[in-house]
Amino acid sequence: MTKNIVKTIALENGFELKIMDVSRKISADAFAVKMKACVDIDVTPDLFTRGLPPDLTFAQISRVLGKRITYAYEVERNFIMDHEKDGVFQSLVDTFLDNSGRYVGAPVFAERFALKKYADKAG
């Protein structure tokens, strides 16, 4: 399995987006092409610029989420011929950036993601 960071993008919200190639060879001349995008988020009181919901404290969030959370998105295409691998991977990256780049770069992204992650784990 190939696992490497192929691109790091500094986002407008101060976070860093890592694009990784986690493709794997599935036959002599074919790949499962897989792109993974990640944003690591430190869970600190500063993250919650809009304030917390009235029934929630930072201590509760910290207890459930810990010190760091990671937003991760993965997409995979199977049975891609060896000579098409790089083009397909770049297409996956471009589509992600076109569709989700503004979302992960938004000023409220990390705060909203942390609250959603908390709700999922605590709920």
| Cα 7 to Cα 113: distance, rounded to the nearest angstrom | 22
Residue 113 structural domain = 4-122
The DSSP result for 29-88, as a single string, is TEEEEEEEEEEEEE--GGG-TT---TT--HHHHHHHH-SEEEEEEEEEEEEEEGGGHHHH
**pLDDT tens track for 8-62:** 999 999 999 999 999 999 999 999 999 999 999 999 999 998 989 999 999 999 9
pLDDT of residue 123 exceeding 90, the answer is: no
**Residue among 47, 33, 30 nearest 2 (CA):** 33
Report yes or no: 17 and 38 within 8 Å, Cβ to Cβ: yes
**pLDDT tens track for 99-121:** 999 999 999 999 999 999 999 99
| Cα 24 to Cα 74: distance, rounded to the nearest angstrom | 14
pTM: 0.90
Domain count across the chain: 1
| Cα 42 to Cα 19: distance, rounded to the nearest angstrom | 19
